[in-house]
Amino acid sequence: MKIKRIAHLGVVVKDLDEALRFFTGGLPLELTHTEDYQGMRIGFIPVGDSSIELLQDVSGSSAIKKFLEKNGEGIHHIAFEVDDISQAVVELKERGIRLIDETPREGAHGMTIAFMHPKGTHGILMELVQPSKKDTH
């Protein structure tokens, strides 16, 4: 298993449109697209070889809702790109690393993803991603 790069940083925001005014109006960055995924509205902003993934809860019950209530806006997770996510998950399990997703699943932006549990990763929620063949961000 090889971790190739930081694919993205997930950042929880209260309001995506408002956050975009800072990220793409204040900072010289560009939004590539937005996507609705599992009760969230997600905006993708490339930064060099990585991206910032802005996450807004829209359903009131998405995976980021509790985090926002507890912590407010901020960095939510870090995503590492791997070549073969099925193999990576097997290797992490063999090393005793606690996973949220023991089987990789479909994530936003056509990626295959698997989360590790933040209790086993020094307090940082970490995600493995394997991008679809046609996309590197």
Is residue 10 close enough to count as binding ligand CMX by CB under 6 A? yes
Residue 11 φ then ψ, to 5°: -125, 120
Q: How far apart are CA 92 and CA 128, in angstroms?
A: 11
Q: Which stretch binds ligand CMX (CB under 6 A): 16-24, 28-36, 83-91, 116-124?
A: 116-124
**Which of 6, 29, 97, 100 touches ligand CMX by CB under 6 A?**
100
φ, ψ of residue 22 to 5 degrees: the values are -80, -50
Sequence-separated (6 or more) residues with CB below 8 Å from residue 92: 1, 99, 116, 128
- Asked if 118 is part of the footprint of ligand CMX (rule: CB under 6 A), the reply reads yes
Q: CB 132 → ligand CMX: shortest distance, Å?
A: 14
Cβ atoms of residues 30 and 47 within 8 Å: no
Contacts (CB under 6 A) with ligand CMX, residues 53-72: 55, 63-64, 66-67, 70
Report if residue 44 touches ligand CMX, rule: CB under 6 A: no
Question: Which C-beta is closer to ligand CMX: that of 28 or that of 60?
Answer: 60
Nearest Cα neighbor of 65 from 55, 75, 79 is 55
Q: Which residues make up the interface to ligand CMX (CB under 6 A)?
A: 10, 55, 63-64, 66-67, 70, 76-77, 100, 107-108, 113, 115, 118, 123-125
